Amino acid sequence: MPKRLLITGDFERGKTTLCGEVASLARGAGWSVRGVLSPAVFEGERKVGIDLVDASTGQRRRLAHLAQPADKGLRTTRWGFVEDTVEWGNALLGAATGSGDSIPCDLLIIDELGPLELVRGEGWLNGLKAVNTGAYRLALIVIRPPLLSIALEKWPDAEVIEIPIPEQAIPLASRILKMIPLRKNQA
């Protein structure tokens, strides 16, 4: 049975770091990894953007920049999104859904599902579909604390893992992978 983990924590707590570390450990154990990571982009101490990284290949593209009044299209109060990158991310997440009874990946990562998806019905819509298929062994779904109740309504079987401080992200990664067998043939 697939396992869903909702990864949560305040801003800059290490949610993306945790997901990246779990992905690295899982790949090292022979798992197939699919999904998206959304690392922050900084200029000095200031967060100025968000990139999108394909969890399978490491390919990286700019996902969002600080919102400007002239921005058109998909945006939040803080971020303006690059439409081509949103489409690319949805294509990656669509590939993770597979078809029929197939299991297209062992580890699915969606960093993150936020107000666009959970409130407005925009953004990573294929991410929502991918989580709902259960076509994975383990799914890591990053959710901000204010949206946790909405996510738990959608996936009441999910377990919540909170990252209280950034220094706990890496140690949590190995604990997460101990929850289920690492080797594919150990089902």
Single out the residue of 62, 110, 97 nearest to residue 83, CA to CA: 62
| 71 occurs within a structural domain | no
Domain assignment present for residue 76? The answer is no
**pLDDT > 70 fraction of the chain, expressed in percent and rounded:** 92
In-domain check, residue 164: yes
Q: Domain residues for 98?
A: 3-38+51-57+82-180
- What CA–CA distances, in Å, run from 141 to 65, 80, 126? 22, 22, 13
- Does 65 reside within a domain? no
Question: Phi, psi (5° rounding) for residue 144?
Answer: -70, 150
For the stretch 116-175, pLDDT in tens is 999 999 999 999 999 999 889 999 999 999 999 999 999 999 999 999 887 888 888 888
Q: What is the domain-level CATH number for residue 86?
A: 3.40.50.300
Q: What is the mean pLDDT of residues 20-43?
A: 93
Q: How far apart are CA 170 and CA 159, in angstroms?
A: 18
- Tell me, yes or no, whether 66 lies in a domain: no
If one counts the domains in the chain, the total is 1
Specify if 173 maps to a domain: yes
Strand partners, 64: 50, 81
Listed in sequence order, the residues at least 6 apart from 39 whose beta carbon sits closer than 8 Å to its beta carbon are 16, 20, 50, 51, 53
pLDDT in tens, 95-114: 876 654 445 889 999 999 99
Q: Does residue 90 belong to any structural domain of this protein? A: yes
Place of tokens 């893992």: 161
């999104």: which residue's tokens? 81
In a domain, residue 44? The reply is no
| β-bridge mates for residue 175, sequence order | none
